[in-house]
């Protein structure tokens, strides 16, 4: 009897499942089908493995903005847009109506009350404090010194070991860049160097926990709220992964805070230290010294927010940039010629590292980095929700129960924004006829956010990117392993799904 029942159920369900599968993929080049009850959720999950490309397909067909309808039993409708007018309206001209809000904070609850989740007075206070610290001349010198030392004493030795291996060893550059930015960010934020980028390439539980947390947060954007909350309550799937990752993150950060408090108390003689003292340049020291009443929970949230901002965005940008340059020889040559222009002729055939001041004003290098960020923004999407109902410039209605999602990845590929060659890697589009860097409005080029929430670390990021990129491009030849699959992952940070597997050889002896 039981066997008969199973066969009966299978006869009914299998054709339905097959029809659903075929229908979802039949629409791969069209707009999602709005199913009864479940809305467009089946189409979303059919294309989840290529979600960034799917956004490009949909927004091209829809003219830049599309209303993605969620299940009728959940308030999960999403307006997806790549329209600069909509983004300017949301991020600038109507900024007050688009706070992060409680729903955003719940999705990103692992970040606590840090600056990424904060609104109103809390956000203004944190931003003012962060700006004062990050833009201070002493911190900038600390950044340059930290970056230079990490390149010289960690990145170069690892690359030299790879080059000297006669077997033509394959290395994952994405992993090296993540280790590099994790180490430098730890130094800048906490004052401690975990030494993850070393010849032995040790295991990094904290870094792995960040990756797992970001993947789980992405899934919260895809699932109806009731479903991911059920996962969290029952403790399975990506929510279990997030819970496990949070334990690791909290444990490591707690040790940093405890050690820093002990270090400061042992070194104090009199009043608080001033930013600029040699032992007091990292952000954690500054926050403890300037805000004596900050508790460990507040410091934990601040550290984690800065760690994600510093480690993930810069390493993602470096990975995609080096891949693009290594696969575009004409761009690579122009960057090398420009680098040669700032060093003595007799030094051009020797291993050479570049100081921040040497590469700061290099126009073509800056243009190539901007072009890479346009095509592969480290944060590929953002979401907002209006506090009060509005009609967007595109004509779409948005109520408080809806999400508005910007696809930065799609924006870089829209012909009506960047022209018919929008899909090409073309640094020249960032250079004016006078040979200077061309400015593009932030609501068109959103890699560093826009409006009042424009990224405070933009100059910090460009300093690191230029120093590392110059060292690699000038001294080494990067060859991507033949047949290696380069495709975006599915996460809130745009990494390569399978890493960047390359062979590295010396250019100069």
97 token code pair: 């109506």
The token duo for 153 is: 């004493």
Residue 322 near residue 469, CB atoms below 8 Å:
yes
Six token digits for residue 309 = 């901002």
Helix (H) or strand (E) segment spanning residue 143: helix 137-150
Dihedral angle at the C-alpha atoms of 123, 124, 128, 134, nearest 10 degrees?
30
User: Which residues lie across from 66 on neighbouring strands?
Assistant: 80
- What secondary structure does DSSP assign to 408-430, as a single string? HHHHTT-HHHH-TTTTS--GGGG
Nearest to 51 by CA among 91, 80, 85, 86: 80
Q: How far is CA 163 from CA 180, 378, 468, in A?
A: 18, 29, 17
Beta bridge partners of 382: 406
3-state secondary structure 222-240: HCCHHHHHHHHHHCCHHHH
Q: Are 158 and 198 in contact (CB under 8 A)?
A: yes
Residue reference for tokens 């100059």: 459
* Cβ pair 133, 289 in contact under 8 A: no
- Please enumerate in sequence order all residues whose Cβ is within 8 A of that of 491, keeping only pairs 6 or more positions apart, or say none: 211, 214, 215, 218
End-to-end CA distance of the chain: 78
Angle (nearest 5°) at CA 22 between 19 and 24: 105
Cα-based torsion angle of the residue sequence 446, 448, 450, 452 in order, rounded to the nearest 10 degrees: 170
Residue 506 — φ and ψ, nearest 5°? Answer: -75, 140
Cα separations in angstroms, 149 against 143, 155, 184: 10, 9, 9
Tell whether 455 is in a known binding site: yes
Could you tell me the CA-to-CA distances from 15 to 19, 21, 25, 261, 311 in Å, in that order?
A: 6, 10, 15, 64, 47
Using a 10 angstrom Cβ sphere, with 0-12 exposed, 13-18 middle and 19 or more buried, the burial of residue 262 is exposed
Annotated binding site: 455
Annotated binding site for heme: 455
């Amino acid at each position: 009897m039981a066997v008969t029942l199973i066969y009966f159920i299978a006869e009914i369900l299998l054709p339905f499942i097959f029809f659903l599968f075929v229908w979802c993929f039949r629409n791969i080049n069209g707009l999602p089908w709005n199913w009864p009850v479940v809305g467009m959720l089946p189409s979303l999950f059919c294309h989840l493995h290529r979600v960034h490309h799917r956004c490009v397909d949909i927004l091209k067909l829809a003219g830049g903005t599309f209303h993605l309808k969620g299940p009728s039993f959940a308030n999960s409708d999403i307006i997806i847009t790549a329209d600069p007018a909509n983004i300017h309206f949301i991020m600038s001209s109507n900024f007050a109506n688009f706070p992060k809000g409680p729903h955003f904070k719940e999705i990103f609850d692992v970040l606590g009350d840090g600056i990424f989740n904060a609104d109103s007075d809390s956000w203004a206070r944190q931003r003012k404090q962060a700006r004062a610290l990050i833009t201070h001349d002493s911190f900038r010198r600390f950044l340059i010194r930290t970056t230079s030392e990490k390149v010289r004493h960690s990145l170069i030795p690892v690359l030299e070991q790879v080059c000297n291996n006669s077997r033509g060893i394959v290395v994952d550059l994405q992993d090296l860049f993540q280790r590099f930015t994790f180490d430098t960010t730890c130094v800048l934020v906490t004052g401690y160097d975990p030494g993850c980028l070393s010849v032995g390439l040790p295991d990094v539980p904290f870094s792995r926990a960040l990756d797992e947390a970001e993947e789980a947060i992405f899934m919260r954007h895809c699932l109806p709220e009731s479903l991911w909350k059920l996962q969290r309550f029952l403790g399975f799937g990506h929510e279990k992964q997030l819970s496990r990752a949070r334990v690791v993150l909290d444990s490591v950060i707690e040790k940093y805070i405890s050690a820093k408090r002990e270090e400061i108390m042992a070194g104090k003689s009199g009043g608080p230290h001033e930013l600029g003292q040699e032992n007091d340049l990292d952000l954690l020291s500054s926050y403890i010294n300037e805000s004596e009443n900050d508790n460990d929970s507040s410091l934990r949230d601040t550290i984690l927010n800065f760690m994600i901002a510093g480690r993930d965005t810069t390493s993602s940008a470096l990975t995609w940039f080096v891949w693009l340059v290594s696969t575009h020889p004409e761009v690579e040559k122009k960057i090398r010629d420009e680098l040669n222009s700032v060093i003595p002729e007799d030094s051009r055939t020797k291993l050479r590292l570049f100081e921040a001041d040497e590469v700061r004003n290099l126009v073509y290098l800056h243009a190539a980095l901007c072009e890479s960020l346009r095509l592969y923004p480290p944060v590929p999407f953002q979401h907002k929700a209006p506090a009060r109902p509005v009609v967007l410039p595109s004509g779409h209605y948005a109520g408080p129960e809806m999400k508005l999602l910007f696809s930065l990845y799609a924006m870089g590929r829209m012909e009506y924004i960047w022209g018919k060659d929008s899909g090409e890697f073309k640094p020249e589009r960032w250079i004016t006829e006078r040979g200077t860097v061309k400015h593009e409005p932030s609501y068109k080029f959103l890699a560093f956010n826009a409006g009042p929430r424009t990224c405070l670390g933009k100059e910090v990021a460009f300093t690191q990117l230029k120093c590392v990129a110059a060292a690699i491009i000038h001294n080494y030849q990067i060859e991507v392993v033949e047949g290696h699959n380069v495709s975006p992952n599915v996460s809130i940070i745009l990494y390569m799904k399978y890493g960047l597997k390359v062979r590295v050889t010396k250019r100069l002896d």
